[in-house]
Structure 1
Amino acid sequence: MQKALRYNPSHAIANYRLAHIYYGEKEYAKAVYHFERALSEQADGELNDTQRMLSHMILVNCSLLLASKSLQTIKELEDSLYDEELVERYRGEILLQRMEDFERALYCIVTPTGRDIVAEERYFAEQEKCLPHC
């Protein structure tokens, strides 16, 4: 794939396939880059509807995984020395200002009828229903 992209860096299918390889290797930032290139209006060739749908679904998943990792790093850095004024200025511009909001979005319930993204509270309430009671 990489060789094909050296000759034509905007080839949609080559970017799509390489993105899947990176996703499988848990190289999420690289996967995002290549999915974006595959979906770009400037890409040579075009993905079919299924490929576009899968690309967007995996882009969401990669983004959540990358965001989760960054939020964990932010938690770890909270006690370190940093420029509080500068950090607070940027914190006000960030869309997900509360880490709890993001973390609650990460819970998914899988049932025979499908999957559902739910708040943390509902997730644990549903888990409680499934546990055998003594």
Structure 2
Amino acid sequence: GWKIPETTLVYPWIMKMFPEAFYIHWVRDPRDCIIGGHMTDDLNDFGISYDKSEDIRKNRAISWFYQREIVRHSPVPEKIASVRFEDMVFRQDETLQKLEKFLNIPLVKIPMRTDSVGRYLTDDQINMFDFFKNDMTECGYEF
């Protein structure tokens, strides 16, 4: 597996190089994503021009949305499964069964930190942006 946010920036190239690979589209509630820092917080660092803000949360939100757009506008691989981070945390058995069937290999449970889900609920800064709404609905998140 290879799970780092920066991977999404080269996703179309990876798909072209490895068309037979099994792809797991791992998503997480953007309201939790933008609370913590990532290497992809500032898309300018990757040569991507955008309307950068003084608000780091807004920049993170733009990066999250930009990465969703990359995936949305890329061809769908033949072998792909979607998994929500929150399902892996709270419904791990069911999620692992889905992945085992997809990958045709046995998987084992791993400890998952439940406190990493829903952090936005106790966060006192802006963590919701209107441009999240369509993607959140598509991914099964309520707002």
Q: TM-score, normalised by structure 1?
A: 0.26
Structure (1 or 2) with the larger CA radius of gyration: 1
- If the length of structure 2 is used for normalisation, what is the TM-score? 0.25
Structure number having the greater helix percentage: 1
Structure with the bigger RCO (C-alpha within 8 Å, sep 6+) is: 2
